[in-house]
Amino acid sequence: MVAKTQFGLEELLAAELKSIGATDIELLTRAVKYRGDMAVLYKSNLLLRTALKVLVPFTSFYAHHENQLYKRVQQTDWSQLMSPNQTLAIDATTNSEIFHHSKFTALKTKDAIVDQFRGRFGIRPSIDTENPDLRLNVHIHDKLVTLSLDSSGNTLDRRAYRLNRTEAPINEVLAAGIVMLAGWQGDTTLLDPMCGSGTFSIEAAMLAANIAPGKRRSFGFERWPNFDGELWSKIKAEAVQAERKFTGRILCSDLDPTAVNIAEQNARRAGVERMIDFRTDDFFEAKALEETGTLLFNPPYGERLQEDDIVAFYKEIGNQLKHQFPGHTAWIISANAEALKHVGLRPTRKIKLFNGSLECRLQKFELFAGKKGEAKPS
């Protein structure tokens, strides 16, 4: 199997895979390759916090031109995988001199499949890109074509709790990854002071209470002909049994009351609202309630602000941290490298990540306890 993820989260994903019994784990860029049985496949979708989708490669071959691709795709008996009255979607990714256009590749593959059905049964499956019965992935590297079944269906960042979004939300997989990169496991208070739609807080609560990220959604494999309903029910029941009580503290706040309201609604949908304290607060007026804690920030990156304003904003974050949060650890993700410099504290870790297509840095700042002036300047 291949679990896809975001750049920078591969090692976390490999560790998650190990914990669910995957073997032969191999790190790739933005993905991890591994082996496992049907139970591992089902658990991968239900339990992995840092996976975006789980593919099951089932055939690969060389194709030198598009007609060869068409012919080779027809060598699979597609009626083993779906019936002609079901629906199909095809995602293609290409990294090839010959097959430049992923859309065209997907189209050619689709033609080969539907033509086979039409020839054999007189009817053909129709295409449904949103909610298909079978989602197929075609990957072409140079001339090597790999066909995989997409066992996830919708990507796994769609956990079905975030129906309402504020502006520029961070995706759930990245948010979970950042909570995990920060090493937070529920032992210290977590502060999410610019919470937007609450993604950090919700992912942190689900992690701390060991709630399966896929608990509230369905998956592609549930519509496969070989779907083992009994095994699936058992795995889901085990996941519920493995949930634990979280007795720590998560503080979720934002300057904007609408954002706080949205975060609260999302948390309710995720079933974690009782684990989180919601407040409307300006971070620049906030004070630490405890001596230690972990702060996670995804501040505005400044696309809509004047350069001076965004620099002043990041400076102010640094000042607040320095003066009000000694003893705490702060993690800030931003695509604005220049603004990050103005936090004015020396980062003790820098991790490259992507928020959508934006290259970002996640930086760690350790605020030293002691007199206010003793925070380590940059």
Ligand X SMILES: C[S@@+](CC[C@H](N)C(=O)[O-])C[C@H]1O[C@@H](n2cnc3c(N)ncnc32)[C@H](O)[C@@H]1O
Contacts with ligand X, residue ranges (CB under 6 A): 166, 168-170, 193-194, 196-197, 199-200, 254-256, 259, 282-284, 298-300
Output DSSP code: residue 79: G
Q: How far is the CB of 283 from ligand X (least distance, A)?
A: 4
Q: How far is the CB of 77 from ligand X (least distance, A)?
A: 44
Cβ-defined contacts of 226-231 (< 8 Å, 24+): 228/38, 231/38, 231/39, 231/42
**CB neighbours of residue 289 within 10 Å:** 11
Closest to ligand X by CB, 36 vs 302, is: 302
Closest to ligand X by CB, 139 vs 364, is: 364
Q: How far is the CB of 88 from ligand X (least distance, A)?
A: 33
Q: How far is the CB of 218 from ligand X (least distance, A)?
A: 24
**Helix 199-208 with 172-181: angle, nearest 10 deg:** 60
Q: Give the residue closest to ligand X by C-beta.
A: 196
Closest to ligand X by CB, 255 vs 311, is: 255
Q: How far is the CB of 300 from ligand X (least distance, A)?
A: 5
Counting Cβ atoms within 10 Å, is residue 236 exposed (0-12), middle (13-18) or buried (19+)? Answer: middle
What is the end-to-end Cα distance of the chain in Å, rounded? 44
Q: How far is the CB of 169 from ligand X (least distance, A)?
A: 3
Which residue in 117, 276, 120, 125 sits closest to 198, CA to CA? 276
**Helix 257-270 with 199-208: angle, nearest 10 deg:** 30
Closest to ligand X by CB, 131 vs 280, is: 280
Closest to ligand X by CB, 230 vs 285, is: 285
Decide: 112 and 118 in contact? Cβ < 8 Å. Answer: no
The HSE-up count of residue 200 (CA atoms within 13 Å, CB side) is 29
The secondary structure element, H or E, covering residue 139 is strand 134-141
Q: How far is the CB of 330 from ligand X (least distance, A)?
A: 14
Closest to ligand X by CB, 26 vs 303, is: 303
Helix count and strand count (H, E) for the chain: 10, 15
Closest to ligand X by CB, 196 vs 213, is: 196
Closest to ligand X by CB, 25 vs 168, is: 168
Q: How far is the CB of 256 from ligand X (least distance, A)?
A: 4
Pull the structure tokens for residue 191. 């502060």
Closest to ligand X by CB, 10 vs 254, is: 254
Closest to ligand X by CB, 335 vs 345, is: 335
**Amino acid letter, residue 44:** S
How far, in Å, CA of 136 to CA of 73, rounded?
12
Place of tokens 């603004």: 339
Decide: 268 and 200 in contact? Cβ < 8 Å. Answer: no
Decide: 72 and 117 in contact? Cβ < 8 Å. Answer: no
What is the side-by-side order of every strand in the sheet holding 31-35? 23-28, 31-35, 2-4, 53-62, 144-150, 134-141, 87-95, 126-127
